[in-house]
Structure 1
Amino acid sequence: MCARTSLNEKRILTFSALLASGFAGGGLVLGLLVGSLVIVFDGVYSLVSLLLTLLSLAVSRFIERPSKRQFPFGKSVLEPIVIAIKGSVILAIVAYSLYSAVTSLFAGGREVDVGIATLFGAVNVIGCGYAWWHITKKSKRFSSGLIEAETKQWQMDTLLSVAVTLGFIAAWLITLSPLSQYAVYADPMMMLLMSFYFIKVPFEMLRDALRELLMMKPSATICDTVDAEVSALDKQVTQNLEVAGVTKVGRELRVRLDVHAQGKQVQVAELEKTRKVLKDKLSKLSLDLNLTMNIAS
C-alpha cells in the first residue's frame, strides 16, 4: 500500500470513530428513554461500529509496522480477518434484532414517543448521510479493504436512519387515523423489515472476507485486468507467459505466472523487466503486487 493510501486510511478511520461515538451515545440514551426498539438497535449498531472502527484503526497501524520475523509473508491476511469479524458481529446484531422484533410483535407491540423519535431519526439521517458521503468522497483515489468496509457500515447506518424516520412518520399518521390502536406495532414491524433488508450487507462482507482467507478466485474485474495485461505483455517478450493463479488477500494481489522458455535459456534481466512492467500496469488496481514467476518447460 502506498503512503497516501495508508495516511488516507488512518484519517478516515479516525473520523469515523469520532462520529460513531456521538451517534452511539445519543442512540442508546434516547432509545431507552422513548422505549423504541429501532432506536436502541441504531444506538447499539453505532456503538459496535465504533468498536469495530477502533479495531480497524489498530490493525491498520499494526500492518504498517515491519515485522518480518512473526509475519514472513506479510500482514495482509489481517485485513480480511478484521472484515470477517465486522461482518460476523453486525450479522449477529441484525439476527438478534430480528428475534426481538418478532417477540415484540407477538407480545402486543411497543408504545413509542413518535415525535421525539422522528426528530432523532431526521438528525441521524443528516449525520450518517454526511459521514457516508465524506468517506466515499475521500476514498475515491486512495482506498483499501478497511475503508470499503467502513463505507458499507455508514451506508447501512444511513439507510437505517432513513427507514427509521419514514417509519415513525408513518406511525404518527396512523395515530391520527381510525387505526390508531395498531400504532404500537409500527416499531417492531420496522425492525422486522429492516432486519430482513440489512442482513444482506454483513453477509456479503463475511462471504468476501472468507473467500480471501481461503485464497479463492477474486472478483471478475481483477481477473480480467490481470489476464489482459499479461496477454499484452506476452506479445512484447520472447518467453510465453501464462497466468497460473490469481488471488487477493487484503491489500495484496498475488499473481503466479508460468514462463515457458521453449527450449531457450531464460535471461534474468528479461524476467526482471517483465516483473517491473507488469507491476506498473497492475498499479491501477491500487493493490500491492506479489508476483511469482515459475519457469515451465
Structure 2
Amino acid sequence: MCARTSLNEKRVLTISALLASGFAGGGLLLGLFVGSLVIVFDGVYSLVSLLLTLLSLAVSSYMRKPSRGEFQYGKAVLEPLVIMIKATVILSIVSYSLYSAVAAMFSGGREVDPSIATIFGLVNVIGCAYAWWKIAKSSKRFSSGLIDAEAKQWKMDTLLSVAVTAGFVSAWAMTLTPWADYAIYADPMMMILMSFYFIKVPFDMLRGAVRELLMMRPSKEICQLVGSEIKALNPQSPSMFKLAGVTKVGQELRVRVDIHSSSAQLDVKHLDRARQVLKNKLAKLSLDLNLTMNIAN
C-alpha cells in the first residue's frame, strides 16, 4: 500500500471514529431514557462501530510499519482478518437484538414516546447519511478494504436510522387510530424486520474475508481480467504464458504464471519485458501486484 493511500486511510478512519463516538453516546442515553429497544440497538451498534474503527486504525497504522520478518508474506492478511472480526461482532449484536425483539413481542411489547424518538431519528438519519456519503466517496477514490468495510458499517447505520424514524412515525400515527393499543408492538417489530437485512450485510463481509484468508479464487471480474491479460502476452512471445493461480488478500493481488517454452534457454530480457507489460495492464485494478513467474516442466 502506498504512503498516500495509507495516510488517507488513517484520515478517513479517524473521522469515522469521531462521528461514531457522538452517535454512540447519544443513542445509548436516549434509548435508555425512552425505553426503546431499537434506539438502544442503534447506540450499541454505533459504540461497536467506534471500537471496530479504532481497531481498523490500529491495524492500518501497524501495516505501515516495517514487518521485521514476522510476516514472511507481508501484512496484507491483516486486512481481511479485521473485516472478519467486524462482521462477526456485528452478526452477534444483530442476533442478540433479534432475540430480544422476539422476546418483547411475546411479553406484551414496549411502550415508547414516539415524539422524542422521531426527533432523534431525524438527526441520526442526517448525520449517518453524511458519514456514509463522505466515507463511501473516499472508498471510491482510495482502494482500501478497511475504508470499504467502514462505508458498509455507516450504510447499515443510515438504513437503521431511516427504519427507526419511519417506525416511530408509524407508531405515532397508530396512536391516533382505533388500533392505538397495538402501538406498543411497533418497537420490537421494527427490530425484527431490520434484523433480516442486517444479518445479510455482515454475513457477506464475513464470507468475503474468509475467502481471502483461505486464499480462494477472487471475484469473477478479477479472474477474467488477469486471465485475458496473460493470454494477450502469448501472440507476442516465443514462450507460452499460462495462469497458474490468482488470489486477492486485502489490497494485494497474488498472481502465479507458468512459462512453457520449447527453447532450451529463455531470454531474460524478454521475460522482464513481459512482466512489466503485465504489471502495467493490471495496474487498473488499483491493487498491489505480487507476480510470480515459474518455468514449467
Partners in 2 of 1:85 and 1:235 — Cα distance?
Answer: 45
Deviation at 1:284, TM superposition (A): 1.0
Structure-2 residue corresponding to 1:139: 139
Give the 5 Å matches for 1:54-69: 54-69=54-69
Give the 5 Å matches for 1:211-226: 211-226=211-226
Partners in 2 of 1:89 and 1:285 — Cα distance?
Answer: 30
Structure-2 residue corresponding to 1:7: 7
| 1:34 is the counterpart of 2:34 | yes
> Which blocks of at least 5 consecutive residues in structure 2 are unaligned?
none
Match of 1:244, SS?
strand
Deviation at 1:234, TM superposition (A): 2.3
Partners in 1 of 2:88 and 2:119 — Cα distance?
Answer: 31
Deviation at 1:127, TM superposition (A): 0.3
| 1:73 is the counterpart of 2:41 | no
What do the CA deviations read for 1:38-64 (whole angstroms, capped 9, x no partner)?
000000000000000000011011011
Deviation at 1:268, TM superposition (A): 1.8
Match of 2:69, SS?
coil
Partners in 1 of 2:64 and 2:237 — Cα distance?
Answer: 35
Report how many aligned residue pairs link the two structures: 297
Deviation at 1:265, TM superposition (A): 1.1
Structure-2 residue corresponding to 1:265: 265
Normalising by structure 2, we get a TM-score of 0.98
Give the 5 Å matches for 1:196-211: 196-211=196-211
Identity within the alignment, %: 71
Residue identity in the other structure for 1:46: S
Match of 1:172, SS?
helix
Residue identity in the other structure for 2:267: Q
Give the 5 Å matches for 1:83-98: 83-98=83-98
Deviates more, 1:68-77 or 1:177-186: 68-77
Structure-1 residue corresponding to 2:111: 111
What do the CA deviations read for 1:218-247 (whole angstroms, capped 9, x no partner)?
001111110121112222222110001110
Match of 2:292, SS?
strand
Deviation at 1:291, TM superposition (A): 0.8
Partners in 1 of 2:155 and 2:32 — Cα distance?
Answer: 24
What do the CA deviations read for 1:37-94 (whole angstroms, capped 9, x no partner)?
0000000000000000000011011011111411121000010000000000000000
Partners in 2 of 1:73 and 1:42 — Cα distance?
Answer: 39
Match of 1:128, SS?
helix
Partners in 1 of 2:96 and 2:234 — Cα distance?
Answer: 53
* Contact 1:4/1:142, CA 8 A, preserved across alignment: no
Match of 2:141, SS?
coil
Match of 1:246, SS?
strand
* Contact 1:8/1:139, CA 8 A, preserved across alignment: no
Partners in 2 of 1:97 and 1:210 — Cα distance?
Answer: 25
Normalising by structure 1, we get a TM-score of 0.98
Partners in 2 of 1:245 and 1:44 — Cα distance?
Answer: 42
Match of 2:82, SS?
helix
Partners in 1 of 2:236 and 2:7 — Cα distance?
Answer: 36
Deviates more, 1:146-155 or 1:66-75: 66-75
* Contact 1:105/1:185, CA 8 A, preserved across alignment: yes
Deviates more, 1:273-282 or 1:185-194: 273-282
Partners in 2 of 1:21 and 1:210 — Cα distance?
Answer: 29
Residue identity in the other structure for 2:25: G
* Contact 2:143/2:251, CA 8 A, preserved across alignment: no
Structure-1 residue corresponding to 2:251: 251
Partners in 1 of 2:239 and 2:169 — Cα distance?
Answer: 68
Partners in 2 of 1:12 and 1:71 — Cα distance?
Answer: 26
Pair 68,292 (structure 1): closer, same or farther in 2 beyond 3 Å = farther
Partners in 1 of 2:291 and 2:252 — Cα distance?
Answer: 10
* Contact 1:90/1:202, CA 8 A, preserved across alignment: yes
Structure-2 residue corresponding to 1:241: 241
| 1:49 is the counterpart of 2:64 | no
* Contact 2:138/2:147, CA 8 A, preserved across alignment: no
Partners in 2 of 1:282 and 1:152 — Cα distance?
Answer: 26
